[in-house]
């Protein structure tokens, strides 16, 4: 039985604890979620002497392959063939490889990118196999590890394709999928009882998503944005930034490209993105509708000078395969390297905001997840501060990529030539740690993450209606609050999803101050030193004990 441990009440960093129970969304992941299976340590095949396996979710028929080493490809092809399967490479991989091959890079930079470049491969039945068992990619991964040997440099070149969720355990803490029959438990990321503990935050009036009015002014930059003073650039990998007066072309770049390729997914449905609905026949807002817009507004509030790069990474359901996340991260890393070279005409990214994560099956293995860590570390090596939400599961189990933040006993040491990952948990308005916030020694920062106010797309007015409406004899239209009419452009929401961009905005604001003071060298070494210096001045956990 796993046990949880209790840390100090007001922000002191907990000691390395026993892991608390497996987050419920892992136990409940269904086959309709990106063709997902859940790895059960009691029944999973395991290589002898390998680290213990923890529950995780993974895409059933795809694997991730890092790099281009022939030994890796040969071993994978052999074990797949022995199981009766062939390799079908993702067609997008070829386009991305072409963009990488054609990029103006130094030999060192090409080696760095080749070493972290990940491709997705699908396992398909061999043509001569008319009857076959469904592929077990976990078992195939174990066979690969035996084939190459545990001590081989190729051991970590193959990995599962995990589904990554926007803030697991809540996706911004939204009540979604409410049952028709009264008296059943509501859903806030997983079945729970309304009004108790963590799920209070999902209730409108207690920090849950709801519209509000904003009577203040829009954020005002502290210097002329057309001057020679650089603007901080913040990349937001999320659901996309919707229509809002604060978030026009002057402040949001929506078509981010490198080598002729768009970074981010095209909307599956432009209408669904515009309206935020998950199903037009019902017309309800999806669990993560407005997520990216809310985050962009928080960045603007903290740093009015910032230019937000809108990299749409997943839809309004808040789910993305790790392979698709990696695609965006490695293309962004390629863009970053070219921008530092000055060869692309793009401004380098200063901050990357990620409000997503997943739980890995072998977090104690030193080579357990070089695939996801690779492009994130490369972004840090080229001067970008990667800021990640800690998750909403109220667990001490490390979540990735947040747990890539350097910490005692962690898998990633602090390298003075790299901007470290920053992991952010959530605080309540009174300064206490929000009950839903994940925590542990890997969470280096706490920022406001409950009952925040920020921007929503002004196009959102979904199917829910006010509880009462009346037209008086004088012709006045009176009504109760419409719970999903966000045409005011603003709303309340809670989650570590939003604590992360609060810190990202603070970092951007600190860099704007540095740029105003004349620290404008955009070279790689100068950028890393500047970001590390400014990041070191911001309040972390140690300063709040």
- Domain assignments of the chain as residue spans, ordered by start: 61-161, 230-544
Q: What is the pLDDT of residues 394-424, one digit of tens each?
A: 999 889 999 999 998 888 999 999 999 999 9
Residue 180 has a pLDDT of: 30
The pLDDT of residue 361: 85
Q: Return the pLDDT at 42.
A: 82
Give the residue, 69 or 279, on which the prediction is more confident: 69
Is the alpha carbon torsion for 420, 424, 429, 430 positive or negative? negative
More confident residue, 21 or 136: 136
pLDDT for residue 24: 57
What are the backbone angles phi and psi of residue 206, rounded to the nearest 5°? -120, 15
- In the predicted structure, residue 181 carries a pLDDT above the cut 60: no
Is pLDDT larger for residue 200 or for residue 444? 444
Query: Stretch 39-65: mean pLDDT, rounded?
Result: 83
For residues 40-65, average pLDDT: 83
Confidence category of residue 491, pLDDT binned at 50, 70, 90: very high
Q: Which residues of 304-324 are buried (b: 16+ CB within 10 A; e: fewer)?
A: bbbbbbbbbbbbbbbbbbbbb
Task: Determine the pLDDT at residue 12.
Answer: 60
Q: Which tokens in the block code for residue 204?
A: 């409108």
Structure tokens at 82: 């022995």
244-274 pLDDT, tens digit per residue, is 999 999 999 999 999 999 999 877 777 888 8
Percent pLDDT > 70 in the chain is 85
Give the range among 40-44, 225-229, 363-367, 527-531 with minimum mean pLDDT: 363-367
Lowest model confidence (mean pLDDT) among 215-224, 343-352, 362-371, 441-450: 362-371
Q: What pLDDT is stored for residue 387 in this prediction?
A: 98
What region, left, alpha or beta, does residue 409 occupy, with left being phi > 0 and alpha being psi -120 to 50 degrees?
Answer: left
Task: Indicate the average pLDDT of the chain.
Answer: 86
- Note the pLDDT of residue 433: 96
Q: Is the pLDDT of residue 28 over 70?
A: no
What are 521-538's pLDDT values in tens digits?
999 999 999 999 999 999
Query: What per-residue confidence (pLDDT) applies to 128?
Result: 76
pLDDT (0 to 100) of residue 381: 98
Q: Read off the pLDDT band of 37 (50, 70, 90).
A: confident
- Secondary structure (H, E, C), 150-168: CCCCCHHHEEECCEEECCC
338 or 92: whose pLDDT is higher? 338
- Distance, CA of 5 to CA of 130 (rounded, Å): 53
Q: What is the pLDDT of residue 264?
A: 94
CA distance 117 to 66: 6
Query: What's the whole-number mean pLDDT along residues 297-323?
Result: 94
Model pLDDT, residue 20: 58
Place of tokens 């808040």: 318
- Predicted pLDDT at 173: 57
Cα–Cα distance list, 376 to 14, 353, 355, 542 (Å): 26, 11, 14, 24
pLDDT of 369 = 55
Question: In this model, does residue 436 exceed pLDDT 90?
Answer: yes
Query: Which among 405, 368, 320, 404 is positioned nearest to 157, based on CA atoms?
Result: 368
Q: Model confidence at 189, in pLDDT bands (50, 70, 90)?
A: very low
pTM of the model: 0.89
Q: Which residues contact 340 (CB under 8 A, 6 or more apart)?
A: 348, 382, 383, 522, 523, 524, 527
Q: How many CB atoms lie within 10 A of CB 483?
A: 17
Whether 514 has a pLDDT exceeding 60, the answer reads yes
Confidence of residue 71 (pLDDT cuts 50, 70, 90): very high
Query: pLDDT at position 134, please?
Result: 77
Ranking 64-68, 176-180, 206-210, 304-308 by mean pLDDT, the lowest is 176-180
| Look-up of token digits 């935020």 | 276
Q: Which residues are catalytic?
A: 238, 291, 497
> For residue 220, is pLDDT > 90?
yes
What pLDDT, on a 0 to 100 scale, did the predictor assign at position 258? 96
Give the range among 130-139, 150-159, 434-443 with minimum mean pLDDT. 130-139
> How far from 265 is each of 60, 296, 316, 328, 536, CA to CA, in Å?
22, 18, 12, 9, 34
The CATH number of the domain covering residues in 61-161? 3.30.70
Q: How confident is the model at residue 174 (pLDDT cuts 50, 70, 90)?
A: low
Give me the mean pLDDT over the 226-244 stretch: 96
Q: What is the pLDDT of residues 450-484, one digit of tens each?
A: 999 999 999 999 999 999 999 999 999 999 999 99
State how far the Cα of 511 lies from the Cα of 252, in Å rounded to an integer. 18
pLDDT recorded at residue 280? 81
Contact indicator for 14, 396 with CB cutoff of 8 Å: yes
Q: Is the pLDDT of residue 335 over 50?
A: yes
- What is the structure's pLDDT at 452? 97
Residue 329 is predicted with a pLDDT of 97
H-run or E-run covering 258: strand 257-258
pLDDT tens by residue, 354-368: 999 988 887 665 445
Superfamily of domain 230-544: Peptidase S8/S53 domain (3.40.50.200)
Would you state the pLDDT for residue 34? 58
């Amino acid at each position: 039985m796993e046990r949880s441990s209790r840390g100090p009440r007001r922000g002191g960093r907990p000691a390395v604890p026993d892991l608390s129970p497996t987050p419920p969304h892992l136990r409940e992941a269904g086959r309709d979620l990106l063709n997902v299976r859940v790895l059960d340590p009691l029944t999973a095949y395991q290589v002898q002497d390998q680290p213990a396996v923890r529950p995780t979710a993974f895409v059933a028929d795809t694997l991730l392959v890092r790099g281009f080493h022939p030994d890796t490809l040969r071993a994978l092809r052999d074990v797949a063939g022995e199981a009766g399967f062939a390799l079908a490479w993702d067609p997008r991989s070829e386009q991305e490889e072409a963009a990488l091959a054609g990029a103006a890079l130094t030999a060192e930079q090409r080696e760095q990118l080749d070493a972290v470049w990940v491709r997705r491969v699908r396992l398909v039945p061999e043509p001569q196999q008319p009857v076959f068992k469904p592929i077990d990619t976990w078992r195939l991964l174990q066979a690969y590890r035996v084939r190459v040997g545990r001590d081989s440099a190729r051991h970590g070149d193959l990995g599962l394709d995990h589904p990554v969720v926007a803030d697991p355990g809540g996706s911004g803490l939204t009540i979604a999928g409410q049952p028709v029959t009264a008296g059943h438990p509501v859903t806030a990321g997983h079945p729970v009882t309304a009004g108790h503990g963590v799920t209070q935050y999902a209730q409108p009036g207690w920090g849950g998503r709801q519209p509000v009015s904003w009577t203040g002014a829009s954020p005002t930059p502290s210097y002329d944005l057309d001057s020679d003073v650089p603007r901080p650039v913040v990349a937001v990998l999320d659901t996309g930034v919707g229509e809002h007066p604060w978030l026009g072309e002057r402040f949001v770049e929506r078509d981010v490209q490198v080598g002729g390729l768009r970074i981010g997914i095209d909307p599956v449905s432009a209408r669904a993105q515009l309206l935020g609905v998950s199903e037009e026949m019902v017309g309800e807002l999806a669990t993560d509708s407005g997520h990216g817009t809310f985050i962009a507004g928080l960045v603007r509030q903290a740093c009015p000078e910032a230019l937000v790069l809108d990299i749409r990474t997943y839809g309004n359901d808040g789910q993305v395969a790790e392979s698709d996340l990696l695609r965006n991260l490695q293309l962004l890393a390629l863009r970053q390297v070219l921008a530092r070279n000055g060869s692309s005409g793009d401004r380098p990214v200063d901050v990357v905001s990620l409000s997503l994560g997943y739980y890995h099956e072998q977090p104690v293995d030193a080579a357990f997840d070089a695939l996801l860590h690779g492009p994130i570390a490369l972004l840090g090596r080229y001067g970008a501060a990667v800021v990640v939400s800690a998750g909403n599961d109220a667990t001490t189990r490390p979540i990735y990529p947040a747990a890539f933040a350097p910490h005692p006993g962690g898998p990633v040491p602090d390298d003075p030539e790299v901007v470290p990952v920053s992991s952010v948990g959530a605080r309540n308005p009174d300064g206490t740690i929000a009950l839903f916030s994940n925590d542990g020694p890997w969470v280096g920062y706490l920022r406001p993450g409950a009952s925040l106010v920020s921007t929503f797309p002004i196009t959102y007015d979904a199917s829910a209606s006010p509880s009462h409406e009346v037209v008086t004899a004088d012709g006045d239209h009176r009504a109760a609050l419409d719970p999903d009419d966000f045409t005011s452009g603003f709303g309340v929401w809670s989650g570590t999803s939003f604590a992360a961009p609060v810190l990202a905005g603070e970092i951007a604001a600190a860099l704007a101050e540095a740029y105003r003071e004349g620290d404008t060298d955009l070279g790689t070494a100068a950028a890393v030193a500047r970001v590390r210096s400014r990041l070191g001045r911001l309040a972390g956990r140690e300063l709040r004990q």
